[in-house]
């Protein structure tokens, strides 16, 4: 089939440009502008990369109009219903659902890497007790590069794999240490007899002075939340990991950059911001006031957990989580959770408001997840840490894809310069 082309004509100069058009498996075509500056001296301008494809990727696809999300071709709804977080991690890393023995070997490898170097624990003691856990995650994950010299050859396939397994395995342990440090309790070691989410809940909530039984319902809910948060194509934090990784830096340092970016309230920090917002709204009677504030251009208040750069329909993850909320809160005897009731009412009022309808602002993944994390007993400032644990799967998968992509070069965007034209230096004694 003849290659598709985009023809650009400038009637004033009579110049024209022919741009090859790239086509993927599904989704919009992309005009390849990589030769535009070299051959035509022209940049493109796209703040926030609304219309820019930064790479080719086989990992995740989102259709914002259909509200579709799939990992390696499998819909998020099917994976949430039938899969497990470690199976989704395997799928994201290796591209196919694992056979039984492959999943067993992968699970054993992750289990083998859950401990962290004992010297790392002193890093936590350097933080004040009220340090935000995301600040601790950023610092401690960045320091992993100082402990793992053996996986620094980023072109070596086995080194890449060990790095990926170490990151997926150690994030819950590091997160649990950050939580324990913030509440002044001793760190709890991982246990090899527990599955991934059970092990994490045990490290979070067990204490040395008594046995702690993990609630299987809580573990299952957490596993599904991790599946829903595992990847999301070229979101801000994953793009940060790709850009940082494109310089050839240590992969653990690239992960720390992703964690730092995820922390922002416009991104992964939104789940914490939603809970704070619901607590600020307080009760149903205040909803109209806050919806008006969200619509007021002069008011910085935004309805956190609403809106999305890509989804102009329901975020399919929000739909799954909303359903989970009902089931989990009922199982935990918290079905009349006032925050959940308030969230449901706020959602309904917003969805029926013309402003939100016109701007296609729907609940996103962060709107309900915090309610579940709170029901699981987590403090609000740990919510984004949960997001980071899950998104580590996407970050390592995209880092590996970027590192092995023959088209990949160091990311170095250009700009439209709007500063002063060149001018002569004025010596100090002549500046008046
Ligand atoms: C995540 O990219 C990903 O895939 C992210 C993520 C992932 O899995 O990695 O899905 C996770 O980050 C989800 C988003 C979590 N953030 C929030 O819930 C914060 C609240 N939402 C907004 O800040 C906003 O909707 C964004 C950041 C999510 C999207 O920003 P965009 O695409 O740049 O849209 P925008 O800010 O240009 O908004 C478009 C219009 C604006 O009005 P106008 O200037 O056109 O008049 O919609 C308005 C905005 O003011 N708007 C909102 C709003 N979100 C957008 N108005 C009120 N409340 C909101 N939440």
Per-residue pLDDT 10s for the chain (432 aa) are 668 999 999 899 888 899 999 999 999 999 999 999 999 999 999 999 999 999 999 999 999 999 999 999 999 999 999 999 999 999 999 999 999 999 999 999 999 999 999 999 999 999 999 999 999 999 999 999 898 866 578 999 999 999 999 999 999 999 999 999 999 999 999 999 999 999 999 999 999 999 999 999 999 999 999 999 999 999 999 999 999 999 999 999 999 999 999 999 999 999 999 999 999 999 999 999 999 999 999 999 999 999 999 999 889 999 999 988 888 888 888 888 899 999 999 999 999 999 999 999 999 999 999 999 999 999 999 999 999 999 999 999 999 999 999 999 999 999 999 999 999 999 999 998
CA separation, residue 231 to residues 397, 404, 422 (Å): 9, 19, 45
Identify the residue whose C-alpha is closest to ligand 1 atom 50. Answer: 297
Q: Are 133 and 382 in contact (CB under 8 A)?
A: yes
**309 in contact with ligand 1, CB cutoff 6 A:** yes
pLDDT of residue 148: 82
**157 in contact with ligand 1, CB cutoff 6 A:** no
**269 in contact with ligand 1, CB cutoff 6 A:** no
> What number does the ligand 1 atom closest to the CA of 307 have?
25
**Rounded distance, CA 393 to CA 168, Å?**
6
Helix 157-182 with 133-143: angle, nearest 10 deg: 150
**266 in contact with ligand 1, CB cutoff 6 A:** yes
Give me ligand 1 centre to Cα 272, in Å.
Answer: 15
Q: Are 425 and 120 in contact (CB under 8 A)?
A: no
Maximal CA-CA distance, the chain: 81
Give me ligand 1 centre to Cα 376, in Å.
Answer: 27
**362 in contact with ligand 1, CB cutoff 6 A:** no
Q: Are 360 and 212 in contact (CB under 8 A)?
A: no
> What number does the ligand 1 atom closest to the CA of 50 have?
32
Q: Reduced to 3 states, what is the DSSP secondary structure of residue 45?
A: coil
Q: Are 65 and 312 in contact (CB under 8 A)?
A: yes
Give me ligand 1 centre to Cα 269, in Å.
Answer: 12
**241 in contact with ligand 1, CB cutoff 6 A:** no
Identify the residue whose C-alpha is closest to ligand 1 atom 3. Answer: 235
* pTM, 2 dp: 0.96
Give me ligand 1 centre to Cα 307, in Å.
Answer: 4
pLDDT of residue 294: 96
Give me ligand 1 centre to Cα 305, in Å.
Answer: 8
**Rounded distance, CA 150 to CA 159, Å?**
7
* Count, residues in the chain: 432
**303 in contact with ligand 1, CB cutoff 6 A:** yes
**Region for 149 from its dihedrals, namely left if φ exceeds 0, alpha if ψ lies in -120 to 50, beta otherwise:** alpha
Q: According to DSSP H, which parts of 282-382 are helical? A: 287-295, 316-331, 338-351, 354-358, 365-375
pLDDT of residue 116: 96
**Rounded distance, CA 251 to CA 254, Å?**
5
Give me ligand 1 centre to Cα 23, in Å.
Answer: 28
Pocket test for ligand 1, best of 71, 261, 292, 308 (most atoms within 8 A of CB): 308
**277 in contact with ligand 1, CB cutoff 6 A:** no
Pairing status of strand 5-10 against strand 74-75: unpaired
**293 in contact with ligand 1, CB cutoff 6 A:** no
Identify the residue whose C-alpha is closest to ligand 1 atom 16. Answer: 266
Query: Which candidate, 302, 400, 319, 401, places its Cα nearest to that of 80?
Result: 319
Pocket test for ligand 1, best of 307, 308, 389 (most atoms within 8 A of CB): 307
pLDDT of residue 152: 73
Q: Are 332 and 239 in contact (CB under 8 A)?
A: no
Residues carrying an active site annotation: 308, 366
Share of the chain residues as helix, strand and coil, in percent rounded to the nearest 5? 55, 5, 40
Give me ligand 1 centre to Cα 267, in Å.
Answer: 9
Would you give the DSSP letter of residue 183?
A: T
pLDDT of residue 15: 85
pLDDT of residue 151: 56
The residues facing 20 across adjacent strands are 5
Give me ligand 1 centre to Cα 130, in Å.
Answer: 29
**Rounded distance, CA 284 to CA 286, Å?**
5
**384 in contact with ligand 1, CB cutoff 6 A:** no
**Region for 31 from its dihedrals, namely left if φ exceeds 0, alpha if ψ lies in -120 to 50, beta otherwise:** beta
Q: Reduced to 3 states, what is the DSSP secondary structure of residue 2?
A: coil
Pairing status of strand 15-22 against strand 30-31: antiparallel
């Amino acid at each position: 089939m003849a290659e598709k082309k985009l023809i650009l004509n400038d009637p004033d100069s009579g110049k024209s440009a022919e741009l090859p058009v790239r086509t993927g498996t599904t989704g919009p075509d992309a005009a390849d502008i990589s030769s535009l500056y070299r051959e035509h001296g022209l940049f493109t301008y796209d703040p926030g990369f609304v219309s820019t494809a930064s790479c080719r990727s086989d990992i995740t696809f989102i259709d914002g109009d259909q509200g579709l999300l799939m990992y390696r071709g499998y819909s998020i709804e099917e994976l949430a219903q039938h899969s497990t977080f470690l199976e989704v991690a395997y799928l994201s890393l290796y591209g196919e659902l694992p056979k039984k023995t492959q999943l067993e070997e992968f699970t054993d490898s992750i289990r083998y890497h859950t401990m962290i170097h004992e010297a790392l624990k002193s890093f936590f003691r350097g933080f004040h007790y009220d340090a935000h856990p995301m600040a601790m995650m950023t610092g401690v994950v960045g320091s992993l590069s100082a402990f793992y010299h053996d996986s620094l050859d980023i072109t070596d396939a086995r080194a890449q794999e060990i790095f990926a397994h170490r990151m997926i395995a150690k994030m819950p342990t590091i997160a649990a240490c950050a939580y324990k440090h913030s509440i002044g309790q001793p760190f709890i070691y991982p246990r090899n007899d527990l599955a991934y989410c059970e092990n994490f809940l045990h490290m979070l909530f067990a204490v040395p002075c008594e046995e702690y039984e993990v609630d299987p319902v809580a573990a299952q809910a957490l596993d599904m939340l991790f599946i829903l948060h595992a990847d999301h194509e070229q979101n801000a934090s994953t793009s940060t990991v790709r850009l940082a990784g494109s310089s050839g830096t240590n992969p653990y340092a690239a992960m720390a950059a992703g964690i730092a970016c995820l922390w922002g309230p416009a991104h992964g920090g939104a789940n914490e911001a939603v809970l704070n917002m619901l607590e600020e709204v307080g009760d149903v009677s205040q909803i109209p006031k806050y919806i008006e504030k969200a619509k007021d251009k002069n008011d910085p208040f935004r309805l956190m957990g609403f809106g999305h750069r890509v989804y102009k329909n329901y975020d399919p993850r929000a739909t799954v989580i909303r359903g989970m909320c009902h089931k989990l809160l009922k199982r935990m005897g918290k079905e009349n959770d006032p925050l959940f009731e308030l969230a449901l009412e706020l959602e309904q009022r917003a969805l029926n408001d013309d402003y939100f309808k016109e701007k296609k602002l729907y609940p996103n993944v962060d709107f309900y997840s915090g309610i579940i994390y709170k029901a699981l007993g987590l403090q609000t400032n740990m919510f984004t840490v949960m997001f980071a644990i899950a998104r580590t799967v996407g970050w390592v998968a995209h880092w590996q894809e970027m590192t092995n992509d023959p088209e990949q070069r160091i990311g170095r965007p250009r700009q439209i310069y709007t500063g002063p034209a060149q001018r002569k230096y004025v010596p100090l004694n002549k500046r008046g």
